[in-house]
Structures are given as C-alpha cells and as structure tokens.
Amino acid sequence: MMTSNRSMNITRTTTIVRGLAIALAMFFGNQLVAQYSPLSQSEAMAEMQRFSSGKRVLYLAAHPDDENTRLIAWLSNALDAETTYLSLTKGSGGQNLLGDELGENLGVIREHELRAARSIDGGNQRFTDALDFGYSKSVDEVWTKWNHEDLVRQVVHVIRELQPDFILTRFPPDSRAGHGHHTASAELAIECAKLAGDSTYMSSMPRWKVGGVWWNTSIWWDKTLKDDPEAVHLDLSGFDPLHGDSYGAIGDAARSMHKCQGFGVPINRGPREEYFKKLWGEADLESYLELEERETDQNSRLAQDASFALEIGDQDQAIAKWAVLGRNILEHNSGLSNRYQRWQRVMLHLTGLYAEYYTSSNPLPSDAEFKAMVEIQAMSSGANVYLASLRTSGKQMALNPPQLVGPDGIQLEAELNVVKANSTEVVDHARVRLEIGEEIIMLFMKPIAKLSDRAIGEYREEVAIDPLLHSKFDQSVYWNNGKKSLLGYSVYARKDGIYNWTVSASLPSEQTLIWEHSVSENLKEGWNHFEETVPAKLPLGRFEVSLSTTALDEAGLVVTKRMPEKHTISYPHVGTHYRYRDARSTLSVLDLSSKRIKVGYIEGAGDQMDETLESIGYDVIKITEETPELWELVDAVLVGIRAFNTEPWLMKSQERIASYVKGGGNFVVTYTTAGRSGMELPLPVPLTIGRDRVTEEYAPVSFVSHPLTMEPNKISNADFEQWVQERGLYFPVVNESYTTIFSIEESTGIIYPNSTVVADFGKGSVIYTGLSLFRELPAGVPGALRVLQNILHYDH
Ligand SMILES: [Zn+2]
C-alpha cells in the first residue's frame, strides 16, 4: 500500500509548483494553457500590428528547441509578421534535465515549453504527429519510421491554412543537417511548399502559393557566409517600444523556456546577424524582410484602421473595424484557430470584457456530470454589450431580446462533453454571440479548469477526466529466469467496491498473449497493493504486462479497456497537466546464469544498470571519489554512462585503475562521449573513444568465439532481438591492443567491429562497450542483460 504520507508530499510539491507557475505566468503575461489572459494596451497594439502588416511566415524544423527564437521575436515584433513555428515532433525522444519524465511525458513538457516560448516571442505554435524516436543518422532511416505520405498531407494542410509568404527552415535538406529528422524537416518544407501550390493535390482545400523556402543558416555551418553574395543578411538588433526591450532580449527570454533541455541563456541585447539561403521559389526574401509596408489587402486595412482608431481614443470605431475583421477571419478559419483566438483577445481588450468557459475542479470524476460555466462580464462602463445566444454541446440558448452584460456579469451553467470512448479527452467548446450596436461578435472558448488556492490565488489547468480506477506497477521491468516470481502493482479506486480486472503478458507489437490471470477484489477507496505470481516456464522474450477491465459500452456490448496510470506533470514554466495512459510494465523472461559477483559501480550521467543488477541479486557497491578503499572489495568495476565526462576525479585515476586491473580486477566502461577529435581514456591499455554509432536497433550483429560471447551465457543472435532505439554509440577507435567482439552491420553496408573491445592486462582486464545497455535494460531487453553479465564476469 502506498502511504498517505507520500501522497501528502506529492500534493505539497504540486502546490508549490502551481504557485511558481502563476508567478511566472503573470511575469511573462503568457498563456500557459491558452486561455483567458487579458492583454495590456501595448500587447493589444502589438497584436493589431501583426494583423495590419498582412505578412505571414512559417518556420519549420523537427524538434522543440530547433527554432530560432531571436528570429521569431524579430519577425513577430519588428516585421510584425504572423509567425508560426511548425515542429514536426514534440521531442519525446530527448533527454530531461528537470526530472525523470521521458517519452510521452517528456513530450508534454516540451510541447508546453514551446507554447510558453511562443507566448514570449509572439509566434504561434503548431505540431504534426511525427514521433521523435531518438537520434537518427540518416534521412533514409527516418523515412522507414515516419509515414511520408501522411506527414506531407499534414504539412500541406498547415501551409494552406496559414498561407505563409515564406517558409524558413532551420536545416539544409542534406546530410549537413546532422540528425536525420533535421534533414527530413527541410526536405518536407520544399516538397510541401510545391504541393501546396498544386491544385491537383488535396483538391478539397484551396491551393496556396508560397513565395519561397529559405534556409535560416548560420556561420556555424558555413564560415564564408559573411561574404556570400547569394546569402541574404539580416540584422536582428533593435528596440521594441511595445516590449521595452530589444528583439534579442525577447528571443533569449523565449529560448530560456526550453528548460528541460538546459537552454536557459543570459540575455544578450547586442546585434546579431542572421543569414538565409534560397532552397526553392522565386520571391525575393531580402525586400520582404525590409521593414517598409507592402501592398495590403482588405483585412490588413481593417486592422490598420482599428489600430489607428485605438491610438486616437475612438473606441467605438476601433471595435467596429475589428468586428468586421473578425467576421472575415471566420470565413476561412475556425473559431478555435490561433488566428481567431488572437483576434478575440484583442476584441475582449477593446470592449473591456471578461469571458471564459470553465470548470471549478480538476480532474473531473468520470462518473459524475461534468458541470461547466460560461461567464461574461463587462468591466468597462462604456461598453453596451448584449448577450444574444450561447451554444455548447450540452446547451443551446437564445436570449430574446438579448440581455445587457453588466458589471455583475452573466453566468450560465452548461454540461461539458467528453469523448466517451476513452472518457478522458474534452471535445467541447462554447460559442457565444454578442451584439455591440450594429456589430455581431462571436466568441469561441475551450473549457479550462479555473481553480484557486489560499496560498496562490487563482490559477488554471487543462481540464482532465479522472477514471474510477488507475494503477501503477511497482517496477518498470520484472526479470524472470523461468522460475515462479512475484509481480507487484497497485490499483487506486476512487470509490469502495468490488472490481474485476485481468493481469496479462503479451508480445508488445503482435498482441500474442502468453499468460493472463483474472482478479476480482473488494477495493477500499485509495491505493490497494497486489502481488501476482508469475508462473514458471513462460516462453523466453520480452513481454508487455498490462491490466485490463471490461465494461458495457452504450450499445450494450462488452468492451475491454486497459487500466490507465495517472501521470501528473507539473513544472512552474509549463503548468500542471494530467495524463492517463495505459499502465504497463515489462516482463522479461530469460535464461540467465545463476553466477553472481561483487560489482563496484561508479555513477555517471544516470543509467539504471545498478538497479537492474541489484534487482536480480547482485551485490552492487557504489564507488565514489571519497571511497577508494571499496575498489579492493569488488570483482568488477562498472563505470556508468558518461562517468568519464561527469566525474573529473575519474580522469585522474590512471594509477588506481592500473593497479586494480593488474591485481585481477575487471574494469568495465560504458559509453563515454567524445568530441570530434576523440577522447583518450586513462586506462592501463591506451584507448581512444570516437564517435561511431549505429542508430538502427535492428542492425545485424555477428560475433566471434570468445569467452565474452560464451561464458557464463552462450550469446546467440536471439540476444540481439527486441532491442530499442539503437545498437550503440561512441564506439572506440580500433587498436591492436584490444580484441573486438561484436560486429554490427548498418543498412548502409558499413560494418562496425568496434562496439565492444577487451584487453587483458596483468591478472585482470579492461573492457569498453558502446552498446546502448542504458537504454535496453530499462526496456527489459533480455539479451542486453545476458551480454552485460558476460562482460562483468569476464575473467581470462
Ligand atoms: Zn533538433
């Protein structure tokens, strides 16, 4: 059972985080959850200028943090262009400096870091559904994992919807981009710009001719750019009076939102040069970037008129012109689009109105009615605003005659609609029709949770729906050596009662069931802990363990549903988000030698090798700079990932390592990062680490007959099945003093013999392995554990 103490701690931390989130939100005036967030006069003016310029730019790259925030700040605030950053992925394959969220939960943080960055630099944020599966060497590999046709469709859709004059890419469409995702993003920009203008492609949507696609390059790639006559130069320096700071400062503040990547930067207000090279198209970017006004259309003239009226204090005229602009925008855009929502915030500013659609608690219990409130209030005494009608999916109401919105406001209760199939996604929005004089104004509002706390005051969260049961496995991997074992998990019930569910293990992709057990239990409200017996002699392999419940759907049919795990993701700069995803763990059934030795572990950048070894019965002793005496007690010293990068004392331990190995110790080093010129390790047999890596997790591996592949486990090809993300990284430079063990063949035909190397010295040995054990062990890959055991037990 989880103790109540623990949940108290969680609650307290969350409250502090919420408090900070509110403070930050006020400081930056940002829209943490894209909801009611009043504009100051200068913010409203900045928005009106963006509509007035009639300029639109799309910046396109692969990940959160790829974008050039200084340039986006300049485009949004100096050029006054409506600027959108389209990130193909949400960056879930990256690292996390803030906490232990990885994968989809990291994607939530990075998505909201991007939204927070845009609320500072003035841009809009969009995504496609491309998955960030981690580093990829080549664009060919990317196209085996991303659905090209589907991504093209999504990007063309965004281009036609936003109608940009130019598309700017962060990367070139070739191998200079480095990461395969980066190359793919530039390739997509060119291909989709062409297709967006082709009326035969996706003919249901009107075509849009993009003026050109340009690479926002940098002297990092090309030192000769300064003198390149084909490159367009742009000086980003300048003061933005509406912000009271330089464009560089706005951009740096936005960049510092990428906190989980460690991108916080000091603010540089000085000049900075940007460079652009043409990838495709005819239009002239250089004259476009000059600040002179361009030929304007009807909408930009309406925005200019409204802006001028506001400046001279003619509120009625400003509202009238802005209202016409809003109607025009609605003809081609949804009410929930960035464009209309920006227009709407300005309209609320001009009319002095507060309007919001909200719930008063969060998450909402799934088995109760979802009550929400539409509230409209006039804060300015001058505005004669009438409420004419309201529509939500739970309520439709017309007021005849329309009702004057006064300083006390109007509150209308509605029922929130959620997607019934998974009961967690809120699909509702409120549509409100207001009348001001002759003008009709439509407001579109997504529901938000409006909450308050005595220590914080008012704050907001994305609405989430809390199911009756959620669960959590005790461990992310259960290693099983073919004998009976226990598998622990907890179920949280929101109400006392008898509940039924099934525990099952199946192959992750093919859904082949290898074992299941039905459970019926009387649960108390709160956490309930269970231990399930895993039977002996299950087939070897890596299996997904999950819990499922059955229920009747609306048609009376039995449906099986995975029991979710509740994830609370909460940081000051991104707010609090609840996610419910299928609770899962890994059952790894393997034939592992029963031999055990004493292992000394030197921790580096964080891997779970020590925990994995302890969980299968190894005696693991942590060794630090302060505990040199422990070396004498262990049969093998395992150096965690990047410890040679993060522990300066280890680089100075040449003598200690040499005497340990000479005396019979086995010194094992896992991946260590090296710069372009390599990195020499202080080992008794000299070894230089290079940058070879194999990102294809399915790349064939072959090996020679060597004790490392024979004892105590006989390694076979099956040990290299079910690997995840990659084979390995930072392989050493081959030298004659070391024997190479596993040869990996990439799809390019290149064979890497050097993932793992071993040298004998004195009575002991030195082993370096770049195999990505730090990734495979937490994923429960059986072969990875068998290989690690052989490496640790190596004894010539
Ligand atoms: Zn990137």
Taking the C-alpha atoms of residue 27 and residue 116, their distance in angstroms, rounded to an integer, is 12
Check whether residue 53 and residue 112 sit in a common domain. yes
4: pLDDT strictly greater than 70 = no
15: pLDDT strictly greater than 90 = no
Give the number of other Cβ atoms within 10 Å of residue 552's Cβ: 9
Q: How far is the CA of 138 from the centre of ligand 1 (A)?
A: 14
Whether the CB-CB separation of 41 and 67 falls below 8 Å is answered with: no
Q: How far is the CA of 450 from the centre of ligand 1 (A)?
A: 35
Check whether residue 557 and residue 659 sit in a common domain. no
Q: How far is the CA of 171 from the centre of ligand 1 (A)?
A: 9
Q: How far is the CA of 197 from the centre of ligand 1 (A)?
A: 27
Specify the 3-state DSSP secondary structure of 55: coil
- 424 pLDDT band, cuts 50/70/90, is low
Whether the CB-CB separation of 352 and 382 falls below 8 Å is answered with: yes
Q: How far is the CA of 170 from the centre of ligand 1 (A)?
A: 9
Q: How far is the CA of 135 from the centre of ligand 1 (A)?
A: 9
Q: How far is the CA of 62 from the centre of ligand 1 (A)?
A: 5
Q: How far is the CA of 183 from the centre of ligand 1 (A)?
A: 10
pLDDT at 35: 62
Check whether residue 608 and residue 545 sit in a common domain. no
Comparing 331 with 291, the larger pLDDT belongs to 331
Check whether residue 547 and residue 605 sit in a common domain. no
Q: How far is the CA of 179 from the centre of ligand 1 (A)?
A: 7
pLDDT at 220: 84
**Using one digit for the tens of pLDDT, what is the confidence trace for 47-76?**
999 999 999 999 999 999 999 999 999 999
Q: How far is the CA of 67 from the centre of ligand 1 (A)?
A: 8
pLDDT at 14: 42
Whether the CB-CB separation of 499 and 491 falls below 8 Å is answered with: yes
Q: How far is the CA of 519 from the centre of ligand 1 (A)?
A: 45
- 17 pLDDT band, cuts 50/70/90, is very low
Q: How far is the CA of 66 from the centre of ligand 1 (A)?
A: 5
754: pLDDT strictly greater than 50 = yes
Task: State which of 269, 284, 299 marks the end of a domain.
Answer: 284
- 420 pLDDT band, cuts 50/70/90, is low
Check whether residue 678 and residue 764 sit in a common domain. yes
- 261 pLDDT band, cuts 50/70/90, is confident
pLDDT at 268: 92
Task: State which of 589, 619, 649 marks the end of a domain.
Answer: 589
pLDDT at 8: 34
Check whether residue 559 and residue 634 sit in a common domain. no
Q: How far is the CA of 458 from the centre of ligand 1 (A)?
A: 36
Check whether residue 530 and residue 675 sit in a common domain. no
Arithmetic mean of pLDDT, 658-665: 97
Arithmetic mean of pLDDT, 172-177: 93
Arithmetic mean of pLDDT, 171-193: 96
Q: How far is the CA of 181 from the centre of ligand 1 (A)?
A: 7
**Using one digit for the tens of pLDDT, what is the confidence trace for 378-411?**
998 877 999 999 999 878 999 999 999 999 999 9
Q: How far is the CA of 230 from the centre of ligand 1 (A)?
A: 26
pLDDT at 380: 86
> Where residue 88 sits, what CATH number does that domain have?
3.40.50.10320
Arithmetic mean of pLDDT, 190-210: 97
Beta strands in 573-635 (DSSP E): 575-582, 584-589, 598-602, 619-622
pLDDT at 293: 67
pLDDT at 679: 95
- Residue 642 belongs to domain spanning: 598-793
Check whether residue 582 and residue 608 sit in a common domain. no
Measured at the CA of 363, the angle between CA 360 and CA 364, to 5 degrees, comes to 70
| Residues paired with 486 in a beta bridge | 533
286: pLDDT strictly greater than 90 = yes
The tally of domains found in the chain comes to: 3
Check whether residue 539 and residue 604 sit in a common domain. no
**Torsion over CA: 59, 61, 65, 68 (sign):** negative
Taking the C-alpha atoms of residue 226 and residue 219, their distance in angstroms, rounded to an integer, is 8
Give the number of other Cβ atoms within 10 Å of residue 408's Cβ: 8
- 556 pLDDT band, cuts 50/70/90, is confident
pLDDT at 393: 84
Instruction: Name the least confident of 98-102, 323-327, 609-613.
Output: 98-102
Backbone angles phi, psi at 457, to 5 degrees: 95, -150
Please check whether residue 726 lies inside any domain of the structure.
yes
Check whether residue 569 and residue 688 sit in a common domain. no
Please check whether residue 77 lies inside any domain of the structure.
yes
Q: How far is the CA of 186 from the centre of ligand 1 (A)?
A: 12
7: pLDDT strictly greater than 50 = no
Taking the C-alpha atoms of residue 590 and residue 4, their distance in angstroms, rounded to an integer, is 37
Q: How far is the CA of 729 from the centre of ligand 1 (A)?
A: 18
> Where residue 548 sits, what CATH number does that domain have?
2.60.40.1930
pLDDT at 682: 97
34: pLDDT strictly greater than 70 = no
Check whether residue 602 and residue 583 sit in a common domain. no
Give the number of other Cβ atoms within 10 Å of residue 119's Cβ: 21
Comparing 795 with 109, the larger pLDDT belongs to 109
Please check whether residue 11 lies inside any domain of the structure.
no
Whether the CB-CB separation of 361 and 463 falls below 8 Å is answered with: no
Please check whether residue 435 lies inside any domain of the structure.
no
Please check whether residue 672 lies inside any domain of the structure.
yes
Please check whether residue 397 lies inside any domain of the structure.
no
**pLDDT, averaged across the chain:** 91
Q: How far is the CA of 319 from the centre of ligand 1 (A)?
A: 42
Q: How far is the CA of 128 from the centre of ligand 1 (A)?
A: 15
> Where residue 779 sits, what CATH number does that domain have?
3.40.50.880
Q: How far is the CA of 169 from the centre of ligand 1 (A)?
A: 12
Arithmetic mean of pLDDT, 287-308: 88
Q: How far is the CA of 284 from the centre of ligand 1 (A)?
A: 28
Tokens 């060597």 belong to residue: 706
Q: How far is the CA of 490 from the centre of ligand 1 (A)?
A: 38
Task: State which of 560, 589, 618 marks the end of a domain.
Answer: 589
- State the number of CA atoms in the 13 A half-sphere of 58 facing the CB: 31
Please check whether residue 401 lies inside any domain of the structure.
no
Give the number of other Cβ atoms within 10 Å of residue 237's Cβ: 14
Check whether residue 164 and residue 240 sit in a common domain. yes
Q: How far is the CA of 216 from the centre of ligand 1 (A)?
A: 14
Please check whether residue 670 lies inside any domain of the structure.
yes
pLDDT at 21: 42
